[in-house]
Amino acid sequence: MKFQSQAVAKPYFIAAIVLFIGQIIFGLVMGLQYVIGDFLFPAIPFNVARMVHTNLLIIWLLFGFMGSAYYLIPEESETELYSPKLAIALFWIFLAAGVLTIIGYLAVPYATLAHITGNDLLPTMGREFLEMPTITKVGIVIVALGFLFNIGMTVLKGRKTAISMIMIMGQVGLAVFFLFSFYNPENLILDKIFWWWVVHLWVEGVWELIMGSILAFVLIKTTGVDREIIEKWLYMIIAMALITGILGTGHHYFWIGAPEYWQLIGSVFSAMEPIPFFMMTLFAFNMVNQRRREHPNKAAVLWALGTAVMAFLGAGVWGFLHTLAPVNYFTHGTQITAAHGHMAFYGAYVMIVLTMISYSMPMMRGRAAANSKASQTVEMWSFWLMTVAMVFITLFLTGAGILQIFLQRMGDSPQNFMVVQERIQIFYWLREAAGVMFFIGLMTYVASFFVKGKEATLKG
């Protein structure tokens, strides 16, 4: 660790991992509810479990992104963080807001929560992924502003690199597009169109800048390849990501009431969206192949390569599978979407945060560069367990989706939704089994932090 203040990232990462565990537990609950319909009913209805699952994901990824920025920005800027105290204060505020929100979801019916948090004054709740009370949303904005101020001031007083600039642009974009979550018109169609300005422009827009900058940072550190080369690749990758991704928003506008020309625009531009992910895979493997040093943290390199591959598979390939309008006409709103969502989020965003944690945590815990060999071995086991489990989850959901489309959307006598769900149960059981495997992988990951042993050292 080059600067003391980088250590503020540590609580952020710990919170991220703890909330990640919570997310997966609720994922398992939902998976079980898919096959045992009345499991935990009416205490935790499916919609509550899902809200907890998705919102925990968002909160812990935001913890991960902020932690990554707090670690990365001082090192890139070659100066201490502007205010470590502010970073710690914001950590507690954000954690309190997040945990209270989740408790609110679980403790009272959603309508009651909406009522007591003043949703009647400024209704923003009850929309997918943006279920948190308006007051939590305000809290997120305040935390984001404080965070941006902190890293912005740090960059201003220090060295300005492409990596830190892109990281800041990504974080600013994240905050700016989140503001659309406060726009909730009475017209559902307008609501939907601008809802995607948060959701799509996050995950297929500004988040990719954050992902790119973290990946570039870790690759510079672990491979020793010239910064100049890494940074120009980074620019090209994110250029392609935004050039294809911004108009790619059109693939969400096919069937929600928007004019039909979006079918053309959305199909063409999102057909190109795999390109930046493919470039990212090429980039990661090329840099590792051209490495000028052997970094002792093998686990971090594995995560970095893994995220590039899995993001390409999940976001690129599985996205492309159902993005063309004539295909999407049948797949829209089925388990195919769920399959894509799971692998894309895991590959692109879960794994990039775990890459950063894997790289930085050993140093924040007082090691020179890496954990012990034994610890890394356990961590790599967790990588494979989680990644293979996610591949299976995706394949089973894809199978469920194909059958669902075939039975419910095609042919002369399409069947009722609930009937079809009964008939494809086997896939949901298999998915749940893969989910258990994922959870075991996650526990293995947590265990890797407690494996002791002599630190792996630098050579060459």
Partner 1 sequence: MSEAFTKSMARNIFFGGSLFFFLVFVGLTIHTTRELPERDHRENINEMVVLGKKVWEDNNCIGCHTLLGEGAYFAPELGNVYTRFGNSKEAIKGFIMSRPVNGIPGRRSMPQFNLTEEELEGIAEFLKWTSEVNTANWPPNIQG
Partner 2 sequence: MLNTSTKSPLPGDVAMWVLILAELSVFALLFLTYAVNRQIHPELFFNGQQQLHPIAGSIITIALLSASFFVALSVNLFKQQKSRRAAYAMWTAVSFGLVYLAVKSWEYQQLFDLDIGLSTDSFFTFYYLLTVFHLLHVILGLGLLCYVASKLLTSKWHEPNIMESIASYWHMVDLVWLILFPLLYLVH
Least distance in Å: CB of 327 to partner 1? 12
Distances (CA, A) of 310 to 20, 57, 273, 369, 377: 18, 18, 15, 26, 20
Nearer to partner 1 by Cβ, of 120 and 459: the residue is 120
Distances (CA, A) of 45 to 38, 266, 351, 425: 8, 35, 29, 19
Cα 416 from chain centroid (whole Å):
33
Per CB under 8 A, the list member of 44, 246, 275, 447 interacting with partner 2 is: 275
Per CB under 8 A, the list member of 34, 60, 70, 269 interacting with partner 2 is: 269
Least distance in Å: CB of 83 to partner 1? 29
The amino acid at 428: Y
- What tokens does 405 get? 């489309």
| Residue written as token pair 């591949």 | 391
Helices 162-178/134-157 angle, 10° precision: 160
Alpha-carbon gap, residue 442 to 438, rounded angstroms: 6
For residue 286, the partner it binds in partner 1, partner 2, none, with Cβ less than 5 to 8 A by kind, is partner 2
Stretch that binds partner 2, among 270-278, 310-318, 405-413, 435-443 (CB under 8 A): 270-278
Stretch that binds partner 2, among 29-37, 264-272, 313-321, 374-382 (CB under 8 A): 264-272
Least distance in Å: CB of 268 to partner 2? 5
For residue 264, the partner it binds in partner 2, partner 1, none, with Cβ less than 5 to 8 A by kind, is partner 2
Least distance in Å: CB of 290 to partner 1? 15
Encode burial over 215-254: b for 16+ CB neighbours within 10 A, e otherwise: bbbbbbbbbbbeeeebbebbeebbebbbebbebbbbbbbb
For residue 290, the partner it binds in partner 2, partner 1, none, with Cβ less than 5 to 8 A by kind, is partner 2
Per CB under 8 A, the list member of 2, 85, 232, 365 interacting with partner 2 is: 232
Least distance in Å: CB of 20 to partner 1? 21
Nearer to partner 1 by Cβ, of 150 and 171: the residue is 171
Least distance in Å: CB of 72 to partner 1? 19
For residue 268, the partner it binds in partner 2, partner 1, none, with Cβ less than 5 to 8 A by kind, is partner 2
CA angle 396, 425, 252 (to 5 degrees): 55
Counting contacts by CB under 8 A, is residue 365 touching partner 2? no
Stretch that binds partner 2, among 75-83, 86-94, 140-148, 266-274 (CB under 8 A): 266-274
Contacts for 290 with CB less than 8 Å, ≥ 6 apart? 223, 225
Per CB under 8 A, the list member of 106, 229, 433, 447 interacting with partner 2 is: 229
Total residues at interface with partner 2 (CB under 8 A): 23
Encode burial over 335-347: b for 16+ CB neighbours within 10 A, e otherwise: bbbbbbbbbbbbb
Nearer to partner 2 by Cβ, of 96 and 236: the residue is 236
Largest Cα–Cα separation, the chain: 68
Counting contacts by CB under 8 A, is residue 265 touching partner 2? yes
Alpha-carbon gap, residue 405 to 415, rounded angstroms: 10
Nearer to partner 1 by Cβ, of 71 and 269: the residue is 269
